[in-house]
Amino acid sequence: MRNARRILLRFGAMASSALTVAGIGLIAAPPAAAVDYYYELPYPSGESYLVTQGPEGTYSHTGPYNEYAWDFGLPANYEVSAAQGGTVLVSDWSPYWQNGIEVIIRHSNGQCTHYAHLNRAIYNTGDWVPQGRIIGWSGATGAANGAHLHFQVINCNTRVGIRATLQGWTPPTGSRPVSVNTRA
Residue nearest to Zn ion (CB): 150
Q: How far is the CB of 52 from Zn ion (least distance, A)?
A: 8
3-state SS of 81-112?
A: ECCCCEEEEEEEECCCHHHCEEEEEECCCCEE
The closest of 95, 69, 91 to 149, measured between CA atoms, is 69
Q: How far is the CB of 69 from Zn ion (least distance, A)?
A: 5
Distances (CA, A) of 76 to 69, 103, 138, 163, 176: 19, 16, 5, 27, 18
Contacting residue, 39, 43, 44, 71, with Zn ion by CB under 5 A: 71
Q: How far is the CB of 151 from Zn ion (least distance, A)?
A: 8
Sites for Zn ion among residues 122-161 (CB under 5 A): 150
Residue with smaller CB distance to Zn ion, 116 or 129: 116
Q: Is 114 in the site for Zn ion (CB under 5 A)?
A: no
The closest of 131, 127, 90, 84 to 109, measured between CA atoms, is 84
**End-to-end CA separation in angstroms for the chain:** 75
CB 115 within 8 A of CB 69: no
Q: How far is the CB of 60 from Zn ion (least distance, A)?
A: 6
Residue with smaller CB distance to Zn ion, 85 or 93: 93
Sites for Zn ion among residues 11-70 (CB under 5 A): 69
Residue with smaller CB distance to Zn ion, 30 or 51: 51
Residue 101 burial class via C-beta count within 10 angstroms: exposed 0-12, middle 13-18, buried 19 and up: buried
Contact residues for Zn ion, defined by CB under 5 A:
69, 71, 150
